[in-house]
Amino acid sequence: MARRDAARPRRSAGQLEGEILSALWAADGPMTAIEVQAAVGDDLAYNTVHTILTRLHCKGQVHRLGPAGRSTYKPAKGAAEVAAEQMRAVLDTGADRGEILMRFVSTLGAAEEAALRAALDAEGS
């Protein structure tokens, strides 16, 4: 699989939007486009970051603060709070138990935690 590791494929617009939005949500406060570019932590061009921020702003997912050229961006919170209620309603139905809902990871038991550490360390050294 070393072949795959060498060549990084270009990411789709949807993927990039997700990455930039999630970088803003992970941050403590508003960020400039340059800070976002650094927070996405990859070889993304500044222009690409700016274009996507503008698109997210148009869709109402991101607030833009300050004058053009030195604007900062922060995520729009309203929908996220409604989403939190909706999510709890979904999880209360037990949707996550029938595996219909595809959860990223489950919780770990003590034995699994140790096995996980061993698996990661064995390869990493």
Partner 1 sequence: MTVSVYLPLLVSVVLAVSVRPLAKALPPRLGLWVLTAAAVIAGVGTVWTSLLLGSLLVDDIPAFDAAERLVPVDDMMSLGAAAFLGTGAVRSCLAVRRLLHTRRRLRRLNAMPGGELLVVADPRPDAFAVPGSRAGGGRVVVTQGMLRALDAGQRRALIAHERTHLRARHSIALSLAELAAAMNPLLVPVRRAVGFLSERDADEGAVAVAGSRRLVAEALAAAARARSASAAASPLAPGFHQFGVVDRVSALLAPEPVTRLRHVWIVGAMTLLAVGAAFDATRDFAWIVQILLRH
Kindly list the residues in this chain that would bind partner 1 in the complex (CB under 8 A): 1, 4-5, 7-9, 11, 14-15, 17-19, 21-23, 25-26, 39-42, 56, 59-61, 75, 77, 79-84, 86-87, 89-91, 93-108, 112-113, 115-116, 119-120, 122-124
* Residue 74 β-bridge partners: 63
Residue numbers 73-112 binding Zn ion by CB under 5 A: 102
Least distance to partner 1, CB of residue 67, Å: 26
Q: What is the smallest separation between the CB atom of 102 and Zn ion, expressed in angstroms?
A: 4
Residue with Cβ nearer partner 1 (68 or 122) = 122
Query: What are the CB-based long-range contacts (under 8 Å, 24+) for 23-30?
Result: 24/62, 24/73, 24/74, 24/75, 25/75, 29/74, 30/65, 30/72, 30/73, 30/74
Which residue is nearest to Zn ion, using beta carbons? 102
The nearer residue to partner 1, 65 or 90, going by C-beta atoms, is 90
For 20, 78, 89, 96, the CA distances from 85, given in Å and listed in that order, are 24, 12, 6, 16
Check: CB of residue 49 under 8 Å from CB of residue 36.
yes
